[in-house]
Amino acid sequence: MEQKQKSPLMRIWDLSKSKQGMLKKSIALSAVGVLIGFVPYISAAKIIAMLIAHNGNTKDIVLWALAAFLTNECKTLLLTFSTSVSHKATFAVLAEIRQKCLRKLSNLSMGTLEAQSTGKWKTILVDQIESMEKTIAHVFPEFTGNILGAVVLMVGMIVLDWRLGLLSLVTLPIGMAFMMTTMKGYAQNYEKSIHVGKKMNDAILDYIGGIKVIKAFNQSEISYTKYADSIRNNASFFYGWMKQSQFGMSCFYSISPAVLVIVIPFGLIFYMGGSISVTEFLTILIMAMSVISPIIKMTSYMDSLATTGTLIESVEELLLAPEQHHPQEKVELADQVIELKHVTFAYDDEAGNVLNDVSLRIEPGTKTALVGPSGGGKSTIAKLIAGFWDVEEGSISLGGKDLKDIPLSQISENISYVSQDNFLFDDTVRNNIRMGRENATDEEVEEIARLASCDKFIRKLDRGYDTKVGGGGTHLSGGERQRIAIARAMLKNAPIVILDEATAYIDPENESVLQEAIGNLVKGKTLIVIAHRLATVTNSDKIVVLENGCIKATGTHDELIESSELYRHMWKASTGNGGEQDD
């Protein structure tokens, strides 16, 4: 919480801890470069003064001109080197921040991850972290260097003649006052810009993603109107914001540099009164003209400084999000017994409980089916067993150890989880299956694909196992994606397999083949199945019937047909002898 109390700039500086040495070097190079960059102005003043006074020789003029040339070249080299060092440090820092965020994501519960859209995580990990580049690479060295340069110039003018020195600064606060009017409500406007931009992006994605539905139901005009309105609203907001800022910024850029309006008349008065020499007058005149340059450069970073708070808060919101706290060292498991004791669970406080006082024991090497109407809590139990969330009320144990006392990596090693919405990476079919076990040979991948009834359709693809499946597996049908996901899980060879409606997209002909394949592949393993077609789980060792987050009955198929009215109704519905099944 201490970090939250710091300024946004200091919080970004803290995130750059590993490369602060390089950034300090960049700041020092920038500061020296800016200071050296004033020498040509002083040289020009000296040369002009000598020419006016006719008291300089050619050698002196050449020396001052040479000094101006060399220091200008030196300034260019120093600033270039400073930029190079700062960018090298910056991209290393951005990579570290992204790595921290990705490591953090792996330790967050699925609840935290699913609470935000994929677009929100993408915005943080890609866009907002990338936006820090200007702050780290430019604001730190260049902003700091220009502040130092401006201060040194101001002090120098005051030392030469405090009257002209102070007068030369009169226009600056007036111009800054106008500029500050544009900064009022900047944070709110920036946050609103993110909001309207997100609405526009969502509308575009909806329009593109739903184009088939739009065409099929002749909704082109209505859908296009929503899409066009979101774009117009986005453009209108930014136009209004820029129009609101235009007057203040125009005044700043016209008033702040107008130092000559004050310095020249007063300088002439002081010179004619004999209280200042021509050299001092010209030097202050040129320094007053040059002091505005670093100040204007500083203001060019005000936008970055103003948005820094929003950027860092989004990243910190992720980095400070509550994690699943599990140990790192593996523990010894007595067996593979899974036991839920009085588990009550809610995804959030407002939605209410999804599970209520659920107790269940699953023996190793058995097949357990979870069935019941939609919303009964079947998938929630499966996900809790897989370690996607930690329970706060009650407990879940594996091999006699509470899941909270087992490293997440060890839970993952012991459990293969396959849902109806498995994700395939934009890679080859072979590599997607191999993700189950990275060191698997090509022969092992192809053998597991045969056992999972994938081999035939894979070999019919353009490049067989080396065919790219597209982002999310879009080049394949839903059933094909599902079979590859099952093959991947089977290659992992974990002792516990959870199939969460994993055959939902499989057609009846292939499902029977796949069910037989699954039966062969999970021999000796613990299998937990969630299925909406009851015919596929009648051979289970135990069937658990859930409704409204409570276990209503347990037993074999035959036992439940006799003892459970709910199961009997579901069975009749699934075989066409009753009403519609609600699952």
Domain end, chosen from 322, 357, 386, is at 322
CA gap 572, 220 in Å, rounded? 43
Residue 2 has pLDDT above 60, yes or no: no
d(CA 110, CA 352): 17
pLDDT of residue 322: 79
- Residue 208 CA: distances (Å) to CA of 204, 205, 541, 568: 6, 5, 46, 44
- Structural domain includes residue 51: yes
Q: What is the mean pLDDT of the chain?
A: 82
Using an 8 Å Cβ cutoff, are 251 and 178 in contact? yes
Q: Is the CB of residue 566 less than 8 Å from the CB of residue 552?
A: yes
In this structure, how many other beta carbons lie within 10 angstroms of the beta carbon of residue 321? 16
Taking the C-alpha atoms of residue 353 and residue 362, their distance in angstroms, rounded to an integer, is 23
Residue 149 lies inside a defined structural domain of this protein: yes
DSSP sequence for 379-430: HHHHHHHTTSS--SEEEEEETTEEGGGS-HHHHHHHEEEEETT----SSBHH
Look up residue 196 and give its amino acid: V
Angle between helices 302-319 and 58-107 (to 10 degrees): 20
- pLDDT tens digits, residue range 258-297? 777 888 888 888 888 888 887 788 888 888 877 777 777 7
The pLDDT value recorded for residue 4 is: 47
Summary count for the chain: helices (H), strands (E): 25, 10
The pLDDT, as a whole number, for residue 344 is: 93
Two structure tokens written together for 1: 């919480």
Quote the pLDDT of residue 22.
Answer: 92
pLDDT in tens, 61-115: 889 899 999 998 998 999 899 999 999 999 999 998 888 888 888 778 776 777 6
Q: Is 219 inside any structural domain? A: no
Lay out the sheet containing 542-547: strands in order across.
Answer: 415-419, 496-500, 526-530, 367-371, 542-547, 550-555
Last residue of a domain, one of 274, 297, 322: 322
pTM over 0.75: no
At 511, the amino acid letter reads E
Radius of gyration of the chain (CA): 35
Q: Looking at residue 1, what is its pLDDT? A: 38
Contact 89, 116 (CB under 8 A): no
Query: Who's near 43: CB < 8 A, 6+ residues apart?
Result: 64, 65, 67, 68, 71
Q: Is 100 part of any domain?
A: yes
What is the rounded CA–CA span in Å between residue 46 and residue 278?
10
For 521, the domain range is 338-574
- Does the pLDDT value for residue 307 go beyond 60? yes
| pLDDT per residue as tens digits for the range 217-258 | 565 666 677 778 888 888 888 888 888 778 887 887 777 777
- pLDDT of amino acid 507: 67
Position 258 in a domain: no
* Confidence grade of residue 181 (pLDDT, cut at 50, 70, 90): confident
pLDDT on residue 579: 41
577 pLDDT band, cuts 50/70/90, is low
**Total number of domains in the chain:** 2
- Mean pLDDT over 553-580 rounds to 83
Look at residue 261 and tell me if it is in a domain: no
> How confident is residue 583, by pLDDT bands cut at 50, 70 and 90?
very low
SS3 readout for 203-258: HHHHHHHCHHHHHHCCCHHHHHHHHHHHHHHHHHHHHHHHHHHHHHHHHHHHHCCC
Which range, 62-71, 173-182, 568-577, has the best average confidence (pLDDT)?
Answer: 62-71
Pick from 67-71, 416-420, 491-495: least confident:
416-420
78: domain CATH number is 1.20.1560.10
For the ranges 73-87, 117-131, 418-432, the one whose mean pLDDT is highest: 73-87
Grouping H, G, I as helix, E, B as strand and the rest as coil, residue 340 is strand
- Asked whether the beta carbons of 72 and 108 are under 8 A apart, the reply is no
**pLDDT given for residue 119 in this prediction:** 66
Residue-by-residue DSSP string for 43-111: HHHHHHHHHHHT---HHHHHHHHHHHHHHHHHHHHHHHHHHHHHHHHHHHHHHHHHHHHHHHHHHS-HH
pLDDT at 291: 76
Please indicate whether residue 511 or residue 453 has the higher confidence score (pLDDT): 453
Q: How far is CA 402 from the centre of its chain?
A: 32
494 lies in a domain?
Answer: yes
pLDDT(553) > 90: yes
Q: Which of 277, 293, 322 is the last residue of a domain?
A: 322
Confidence grade of residue 338 (pLDDT, cut at 50, 70, 90):
very high
pLDDT tens-digit profile of 21-52? 999 999 889 888 888 887 887 888 788 878 87
Above 70 in pLDDT, residue 157?
yes
pLDDT of residue 582: 39
| Mean pLDDT (whole number) for 567-572 | 90
Mean pLDDT of 577-582: 45
Distance, first Cα to last Cα, the chain: 46
Instruction: Return the structure tokens found at 83.
Output: 């930029």
Give CA–CA dist 255/261, Å, rounded: 10
Query: Does the structure show a pLDDT above 70 at 213?
Result: no
Q: Could you tell me the strand order of the sheet in which 393-398 lies?
A: 355-362, 338-345, 393-398, 401-402
Whole-number Å distance between alpha carbons of 391 and 575? 36
Is the pLDDT higher at 509 or at 158? 158
In a domain, 217, yes or no: no
pLDDT at 395 over 90: yes
The CA-based angle 51-56-62, given to 5 degrees, is 90
Query: For residues 272 and 258, what is the distance between their CA atoms, to the nearest angstrom?
Result: 23
